[in-house]
Amino acid sequence: MNNIAMEGKEDVLEAWYMDDSEEDQRLPHHREPKEFVSFDKLLELGVVSWRLNADAYETDENLRKIREARGYSYMDICEVCPEKLPNYEAKIKSFFEEHLHTDEEIRYCLDGSERRLIVLPAGLYHRFTLDTNNYIKAMRLFVGEPVWTPYNRPHDELPARKEYVESLSRKEFGTHAVESH
């Protein structure tokens, strides 16, 4: 499966297929020629996002509606940067390994280069990295108790992966939208 990176520009979520370069993972890693992934394709893959008011996350009515509609009952906030994360370089290298989770991964970037709430479905292989600013303050949301376990590729035998692949063939995604205005 192709690696996809996402970056926000104004009100548009930008995603592209990544190259296989061994260069610094914080660089964009565009293929040549650049291959972008459409917003519709991201929805088809089950990736949803919202641009909210990160400065007012504690009182944001739109965030409250999304959390309520999607059942996100657990929340915490973490900062990822060299000053706050022990073994920073090793940790971000491990985050960059392509992996999946058995639950949705929900991250709301409150501070950093991109300020957006993004939801990745359970079973979707993905990566996490920072850009060259080396900083993100993120809210992590979960349905129920948090499950942090990443399963590095390949883990196609996991029920979450099988269900995800099956849901793609049934075209189930795109039906979980929540109005935020």
In a domain, 3, yes or no: no
The annotation status of 176 as a binding-site residue, yes or no, is no
In a domain, 11, yes or no: no
In a domain, 73, yes or no: yes
Q: Which domain holds residue 103?
A: 47-169
Strands 136-142 and 99-100, by their bridges, are unpaired
Element spanning 27, H or E: none
In a domain, 74, yes or no: yes
Q: Mean pLDDT for the chain? A: 87
In a domain, 62, yes or no: yes
Counted domains in the chain: 1
The annotation status of 30 as a binding-site residue, yes or no, is no
Contact call for residues 79 and 135 (beta carbons, < 8 A): yes
The annotation status of 61 as a binding-site residue, yes or no, is no
Q: Tell me, what's the pLDDT at 2?
A: 45
The model carries a pTM of 0.84
- 149-167 pLDDT per residue, tens: 999 999 999 999 999 999 9
Tokens read off for 37: 């992934």
Element spanning 79, H or E: strand 74-80
In the three-class reduction of DSSP (H, G, I as helix; E, B as strand; rest coil), residue 93 is classed as helix
- Confidence tier at 181 by pLDDT (50, 70, 90): very low
The CATH number linked to 151 is: 2.60.120.10
Which has more pLDDT, 76 or 12? 76
The annotation status of 126 as a binding-site residue, yes or no, is yes
Q: Tell me, what's the pLDDT at 171?
A: 79
Phi and psi torsions of 62, nearest 5°: -65, -40
In a domain, 16, yes or no: no
In a domain, 18, yes or no: no
In a domain, 109, yes or no: yes
Strands 74-80 and 136-142, by their bridges, are antiparallel
Note the helical H segments in 56-132: 61-70, 88-96
